[in-house]
């Protein structure tokens, strides 16, 4: 029973609760095993499975909890609410690079504006100084003829400034004291700016985004959805009536009425770990698998999303059974003495705590770096266009 806690956890909790209740009223029970809760046959009006055994009198109490359905109310008695039973989507919060461009996130808009203003001011100041250097004849006479003198062109000054922004430096430099002092102060300021930017980028690569945290986000995001292959799961999803939840079912879970990802728990949790995927199942069973298969840093991004709110399942007994009152007394004793709470905490696992969230390095792939390649591609296109214009102008001048 405790070896595979994630398999039929609710059934195990209720079975132990029933056994303790029978002990409390000094009784012994005989167990009958069935494979389903029970399907209703409209022709005969009879149920199969556990509900059918209670309906026919073959059993007095149901060993597993069952949801309250309109066609079961006249067949069985619901004697006691079961433990808190809920299912939800288990998924990993996506990294910031999946939903945003991490290259523009480190700074606020005001900081970006101030940074651009600083770069422009450096360019203008440097350009004014270089212009003065080349207009002062005495200063030009004192210069030794070298190849690394910064020329008085705004394009050369811009290359020097952007070299400082990217921490690459430049071969050409001003020769006056004012020019060198301006370049020194500019490089120091840009070094601190570069350090703050690159440090924030590293932190953001290891951060998760909280934008996918609602059913609306599930509907409009790129996340794929799967459902555990359990008897009652498809039924509940088909009966959803709220517009957004119904749209999730029709567009992402079962397009054209066929379930896209209906699988067992092991396969679903594996997809949660490896892909941008959310799997709908009972949380305790999911966390049993997660504790065994996930790395510690991967557990930090786990999230839950409850799509529906359903009533608690109830423990059932045969209609008008003579054991009904005794059963209620036994169950109440089990709950009042804390035995049921103890069994629940043993079998149901909580969400694993985040340990070692920043102890590992995040892998950087094309998703994180696409914007850099995007900028490189734009630069190549602009260069080819300018090259074409230069060739055209050169041919015209040659012709003239």
Q: Identify the band that residue 309 occupies on the pLDDT scale cut at 50, 70 and 90.
A: low
Specify whether the backbone of 256 is left (phi greater than 0), alpha (psi in -120 to 50) or beta. left
Rounded distance between C-alpha atoms, residue 134 and residue 139, angstroms: 8
User: What is the per-residue DSSP string for 61-110?
Assistant: B-SS-B---TTTTTTEEEEEE-S----EEEEEPPBHHHHS-TTTSSS-HH
pLDDT (tens digit per residue) in 156-192: 888 888 888 888 877 777 777 888 888 889 889 989 9
205: pLDDT strictly greater than 80: no
Other beta carbons within 10 angstroms of residue 232's beta carbon come to 14
pTM over cut 0.75: no
Rounded distance between C-alpha atoms, residue 74 and residue 86, angstroms: 25
Share of the chain above pLDDT 90, in %: 9
CA-based diameter of the chain, in Å? 117
Rounded distance between C-alpha atoms, residue 186 and residue 125, angstroms: 10
Which residue is listed with tokens 């959803």?
240
259: helix, coil or strand?
Answer: coil
Rounded distance between C-alpha atoms, residue 398 and residue 400, angstroms: 5
Mean pLDDT value of segment 125-142:
78
Write the CB contacts of 182 (distance below 8 Å, at least 6 apart in sequence): 122, 125, 126, 129, 174
Mean pLDDT value of segment 181-208:
85
Average pLDDT for the chain: 82
> Any bridge partners for residue 80, and if so which?
315
Q: What are phi and psi of 251, to 5 degrees?
A: -100, -35
141: pLDDT strictly greater than 70: no
The pLDDT assigned to 57 comes to 84
358: pLDDT strictly greater than 60: no
Mean pLDDT value of segment 317-328:
83
Share of the chain above pLDDT 70, in %: 92
The pLDDT assigned to 231 comes to 76
The pLDDT assigned to 200 comes to 86
Mean pLDDT value of segment 78-93:
79
Rounded distance between C-alpha atoms, residue 190 and residue 255, angstroms: 53
Contacts by residues 128-133 (CB-CB < 8 Å, ≥ 24 positions apart): 129/174, 129/176, 129/178, 129/179, 129/182, 130/156, 130/157, 130/174, 130/179, 132/176, 133/174, 133/175, 133/176, 133/179
What's the chain's length in residues?
A: 400
Q: Please report, for the chain, how many H helices and E strands are present, in that order.
A: 15, 9
């Amino acid at each position: 029973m405790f070896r595979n806690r994630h398999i039929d956890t609710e059934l195990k909790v209720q079975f132990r609760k029933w056994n303790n209740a029978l002990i409390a009223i000094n009784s012994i029970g005989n167990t009958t095993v069935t494979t389903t809760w029970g399907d209703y046959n409209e022709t005969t009006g009879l149920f199969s499975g556990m509900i059918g055994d209670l309906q026919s009198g073959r059993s007095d109490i149901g060993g597993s909890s069952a949801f309250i359905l309109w066609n079961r109310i006249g067949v069985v008695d619901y004697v006691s609410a079961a433990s808190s039973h809920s299912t939800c989507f288990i998924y990993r919060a996506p990294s910031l690079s999946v939903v945003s461009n991490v290259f523009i996130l480190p700074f606020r808009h005001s900081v970006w504006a101030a940074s651009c203003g600083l770069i422009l001011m450096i360019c203008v100041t440097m350009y004014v100084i270089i212009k003065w250097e080349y207009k002062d004849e005495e200063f030009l006479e004192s210069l030794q003829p070298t190849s690394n003198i910064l020329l008085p062109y705004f394009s050369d000054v811009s290359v020097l400034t952007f070299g400082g922004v990217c921490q690459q430096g430049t071969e050409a430099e001003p020769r006056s004291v004012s020019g060198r002092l301006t370049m020194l102060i500019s490089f120091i300021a840009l070094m601190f700016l570069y350090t703050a930017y690159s440090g924030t980028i590293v932190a953001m690569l290891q951060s998760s985004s909280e934008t996918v945290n609602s059913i609306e986000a599930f509907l409009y995001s790129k996340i794929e959805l799967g459902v555990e292959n359990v008897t009652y799961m498809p039924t509940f999803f088909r009966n959803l009536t709220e517009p957004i939840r119904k749209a999730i079912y029709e567009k992402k879970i079962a397009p054209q009425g066929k379930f896209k990802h209906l699988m067992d728990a092991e396969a679903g949790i594996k997809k949660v770990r490896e892909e941008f995927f959310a799997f709908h199942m009972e949380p305790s069973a999911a966390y049993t698998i997660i504790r065994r298969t996930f790395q510690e840093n991967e557990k930090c991004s786990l999230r839950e999303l409850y799509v529906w709110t359903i009533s608690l399942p109830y423990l059932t007994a045969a209609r008008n059974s003579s054991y009904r009152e005794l059963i209620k007394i036994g169950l109440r004793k089990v709950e009042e003495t804390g035995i049921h709470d103890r069994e629940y905490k043993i079998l149901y696992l909580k969400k694993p705590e985040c340990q070692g969230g920043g102890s590992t390095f995040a892998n950087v792939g094309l998703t994180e770096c696409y914007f850099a390649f995007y900028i490189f591609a734009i630069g190549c296109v602009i260069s080819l266009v300018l090259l074409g214009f230069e060739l055209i102008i050169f041919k015209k001048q040659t012709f003239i």
